[in-house]
Structure 1
């Protein structure tokens, strides 16, 4: 049996690294692909995956090369990078060390994401008026997530730490892959059929746009929009946004953040109860003060003062009415007096005594006024009334002189004055 020399892992990785470094094509090459899982490290380095439809490649770009870029790359950008293929000895994997980068456009998934986002926004799926208010203290919370992922562990950890009064009902689903979108929709529909679920958490750990794509499906967006129960999302990391986040009633950055928001601790509940008790105490004090003021207003002194003021007010009103009535009566009497005086002047002008004052006389017999010679006979006694007295006479002659005598239409005959 031939004996072979053994190598350490480090020696093998170093050997492979020397082989790759000796290849002139791998020392400097341009690779095109789409950025995924981009991490901008606090040191300034960029770590990301370059992918196409079939494969992926790990890449790193150090801070001194990053500083030369004229744009800020993002997940989904289609780029062309120039770099060198080498082995990262510690992990025993090859990666592309990038020293230049050029933007080519958006990847296919990001184009589809923006297209669906625009369509749903136009249809009103993201409108604030459709957002439901979260219950302050949900008794039962439905959790839709993978039963084996980091998301459920984070949610349970928050649940245990906050000493909750709520109950978690977990609906296990696949959160990526061909069937995951249907399972997500079924879970949301299941909780909506129950009458004891107050709120739904839709959660998943971080990942690339491909891994989070189930939460960018129209079917999932429609299921969230149709839900009568408020939906809170905690999907990926803080920088990750999905279509589900835009449709949900509340978006949180991570699964842990979603649990922190909806699961109230005993401390928070106690603080809320204290606030409520303080509000009730303040309201009671205000009510007592109001009732005390009312009682004071019902005391004999207060009531006498109030009624005295009312009586004074009524008296002033009556005095005003009295003055108005007196003024009205004075005006009415004056008006009627002037009218009667005017009528009296007219009657006075028509009085037969005025006719007598002008030199005329009125002739009467014992029975009636004489209006015609036919009213008397020779020998009849008559009375001639003038302005300063009466003259008694006897008729000794009758002569018709009607053409010279003015006779009033319905009044006594008048003799013309003497020359």
Structure 2
């Protein structure tokens, strides 16, 4: 039986592939895995079913050092993004089969415009979802507090932009004081999204301690902007209870984080300037209101002073008029009193005349009544006269000139008098 060695079989496969796939092909795929080694780039490409988001095709691809050294910076320059996992790309590949290493696609070129279009589509999809959820402009609707001085900053602790932000606030020409609290985060490379969301969660737990949040990066590679274009981060910022100011430090493109934030500025320094200008505007408004209040008070005082002066000038005239009115009133009252007095005297005179006519009969009747009562009293008095009682046979016993009514009032040897009709009997108590 004729047989082949493995090398011969693989060589036959290589020749077949070289003959059957002699040219380069542009292939659309998603980067599932990616690593660089010794200047070469090794990728795992996949295609997913759009309905179920599951892989339906997979292939390995390589980009050798010479090609990768030119393709990588070109892609990053055109797209502003690092080539990373999860990104859709359009690459030119050629088929290669090696007897010892097997089959792989060799990347010879990459089209950054395709990835730009895909990223744009993804950005538009995120924006569409945010608007459908009704949160796209939610953070913009929050009012920036009048005295925005307690600032929560999300940034890298070592970032030059953070230092510029602090310096700008501390050296403001108005002498305003700001309290800045830093929440250190990763602002470049992988992990931007999770790091910022974690910082937002910490701030949200104590949001009453802050007036606003500033997310600042202060420069960095354009390719690191992809971390600010995620749905989860945008939803967190859009729904945050405090105004969020972004100063990512990239003025060429606007990321989704900028779109949903309360205010977007170009740099950390511009964010600090925004806060200073806002506080200065409030300060000027207060000064303006104070000046208006002082002017209003001055006008009121001047008006009242003039009014008082007019009243003062009118007092003599008013006093004269009041005096004349009171004199006239007194005259009227005097006249009324005179009439009332004359009428009262006339009335009393008539009453006195009537009483004079009624007095003799009344006096005579009163005297008769009194005389009758006196006679009755005389009769009663005569009946009560002790002499009358003595004449009737009664006697009165006296002790020391007082009537004796109780035997206990006298003692042995006391002298008592007994008065009778015809005389007095003196007795000694034995």
What interval of TM-score do these two structures reach, taking the shorter chain for normalisation? 0.3 to 0.5
Could you say which structure has the higher helix fraction? 2
Higher relative contact order (CA 8 A, sep 6+): 2
TM-score by length of 2: 0.43
Which protein has the larger Cα radius of gyration, Structure 1 or Structure 2?
Answer: 2
TM-score by length of 1: 0.44
